[in-house]
Chains A and B, each alone.
Chain A
């Protein structure tokens, strides 16, 4: 097959661990070098935690799979230091066209919201995403990547895990305090531990093909319901980097995947879609049956499941890799805090609490999109077709057309780590929310708020609180710093007085105040994963210290002990 991309060939390296008499111990071992495993390694590296990543293959994703990377994913990758490469290579589209039968029923324009560092999403082949992640991992001394090291057995108890690894030089064993399992949707490790990912399988098949177009083609997304060239089914055309286009053909349940994958069967479909004159080549094709499922618990003693092994969604709404990264950023700082003795063990349990919530939300959204595309019975088909038919004429019906909703970060509503609002605030940035970006000046000079948040707790203040109060806050934070807790204080629009130990940000456009409802005075406590833990109108150092303890799982610990 022709290809616009050459998979890198990462070398197998023989590790001294393979020659040790006794199993070598590592604090954290990660199984799987896909988006979830690589992200976990980078997140922990930023926390100063060393990891060994084992992958059974010697390259990044073969064939594209994920293409739509959402804003939050790009922001997380930006924090890891590989976001810019993705932004530079990725493509965006604004114009979306929806067809029903012969006709275009409507189009929409996703004008980008200005004044955010990254756009709402980009389209980028998964192999590029992974390649840029690997490149960044290679720069981080805390990370050791071992290609062609396949984990074949895992055992665990409450003190650690032991693994057996297969290589071309034979088997070896290692032990670790924590094992992060990111071995993908089918997760043989999950099965070997007697665990299950439960949910539904959709009785439908999709042919996913990436084609290289020879000539330019408008950068827009086209979605057909019941296309004349593909009756009764849905079809999607999506742009990726390098003039590669993703085509999804819904096939129905009674089709033969092996037949459908053949170029002689793909060609007439694509020609019917693009016209016979257009020149293109097939880069990659695969037939999928999609499922939405998750594990009841993502934690099994010292084994933590992340990414598709923990929760899997159908691709409509692009929540697989995007959801995986949100799970990883949730776990990274917690694991580091517990390992470094800054937080009680119980903090780790909140990875499960918070990400079960996220996984449920992602599964719900993906299921709804899949159900819209594949009506379950005659009545839902009538409703679906009626919605499409009415959306030609009536804008209200377009709100119901669902070919996948853009992935947005989950808000950890009711998380035990949140401190509930007592002040009067707009709900937008309520505790549990992922911080939204805003342009700023000052600080480290990056120009963006999010580049000032993350990896550690931050207190962001706006208002006139008086020198005494600020001193009290600094003292209170300094006492926490004795416990190795690094906390930064960001002051928004404050006169640069004689006090040191603050980061000064200027909200030139007033958008930070607007997006966070800062008003005349506001205080935000923000977690290392850039989620809001608490906020107040007044500056009360005792309240901040309390909320911080809570966000570190101290209260959850008390509740668990009681």
Chain B
């Protein structure tokens, strides 16, 4: 089964993070929301494989449910 990579895979992690922060600089929350949506869709298509996307979704979703749990 295809596996989601959880070890570093960036060719330049610092550059990516800086660029991510950059595109959100001086944006309204609404614009940022749209940027994030565009980014997720672009990257999801690049990954393509549903099994991997599902693993990513599971991990992403788990964080929020854990947070919800912590609040209680």
Contact = CB atoms under 8 A, between A and B. Distances in A.
- Tell me whether A and B are bound partners: yes
Interface of A: 379, 382-383, 386-387, 390, 394, 396-397, 399-400
B45 A386 contact: no
B37 A396 contact: no
Interface residues of B, number: 8
Contacts of B34: 382, 386
Considering the complex of A and B, which 6 residue pairs feature the smallest CB-CB distances, nearest first?
A: A386-B37, A396-B45, A382-B37, A383-B37, A382-B33, A386-B38
Contacts of A396: 41-42, 45
A180 to B, nearest CB: 38
Nearest to B37: A386
A386 B38 CA distance: 6
Contacts of A394: 42
B34 to A, nearest CB: 6
Contacts of A383: 37, 40-41
A379 B38 CA distance: 13
Given A379-B33, A387-B41, 6 more contacts: A383-B41, A386-B34, A386-B38, A394-B42, A396-B42, A397-B45
A399 to B, nearest CB: 8
Max chain A CB contacts within 10 Å: which of B33, B38, B40? B38
Contacts of B42: 394, 396
A379 B61 CA distance: 14
B33 A400 contact: no
Contacts of A386: 34, 37-38, 41
Contacts of A387: 41
19 contacts: A379-B33, A382-B33, A382-B34, A382-B37, A383-B37, A383-B40, A386-B37, A386-B38, A386-B41, A387-B41, A390-B41, A394-B42, A396-B41, A396-B42, A396-B45, A397-B41, A397-B45, A399-B45, A400-B41
Interface string B16-48: 000000000000000001100110111001000
B30 to A, nearest CB: 9
A177 B38 CA distance: 59
B9 to A, nearest CB: 21
Contacts of B33: 379, 382
A387 B42 CA distance: 10
Contacts of B40: 383
A334 to B, nearest CB: 34
Nearest to B39: A386
